[in-house]
Amino acid sequence: MTDTPDRPAIDRRMLEALICPLTHTTLRYDAEARELISQAAGLAFPIRGGIPVMLADEARELDD
C-alpha cells in the first residue's frame, strides 16, 4: 500500500502482532475498508490516520 494523504501506510509487521482485544484471536486486514476484522467477535476495528482503534465501542458489527 502506498502512503497518500487520505490513506497512510500501515506497517504490516504491526498488524501481524495485533489480536482481537475481546477474543484474543488473529485479525484480518481489509485494506479497502481500512479495518481490522475479527471474525470470532463479529467486529471490524477501524484504522484512523494509520492507527488501529482497538476499542469495542468504536468497532463496527459485521454483517452476516
Q: Which CATH number characterizes residue 18's domain?
A: 2.20.25.10
6 lies in some domain: no
Structural domain range at position 40: 12-61
Identify whether 17 is part of a domain.
yes
What is the number of domains present in the chain?
1
| C-alpha count within 13 angstroms, C-beta hemisphere, residue 51 | 4
pLDDT value for 21: 96
Confidence (pLDDT) at 60: 97
* pTM of the predicted protein model: 0.81
Query: Does 2 reside within a domain?
Result: no
Please work out, in degrees rounded to the nearest 5, the angle formed at the alpha carbon of residue 3 by the alpha carbons of 63 and 39. Answer: 20
Residues of the chain with pLDDT under 50: 1-3
Look at residues 31, 37, 32 and name the one whose alpha carbon lies nearest to residue 12: 31
Asked whether residue 16 is assigned to any structural domain, the reply reads: yes
Residue 55 within any structural domain of the chain: yes
- The reported pLDDT for the residue numbered 7 is 56
What is the DSSP track for 6-38? TB----HHHHHH-B-TTT--B-EEETTTTEEEE
Does residue 23 sit within a domain? Answer: yes
| Residue 49 counted as domain residue | yes
CB 7 within 8 A of CB 1: yes
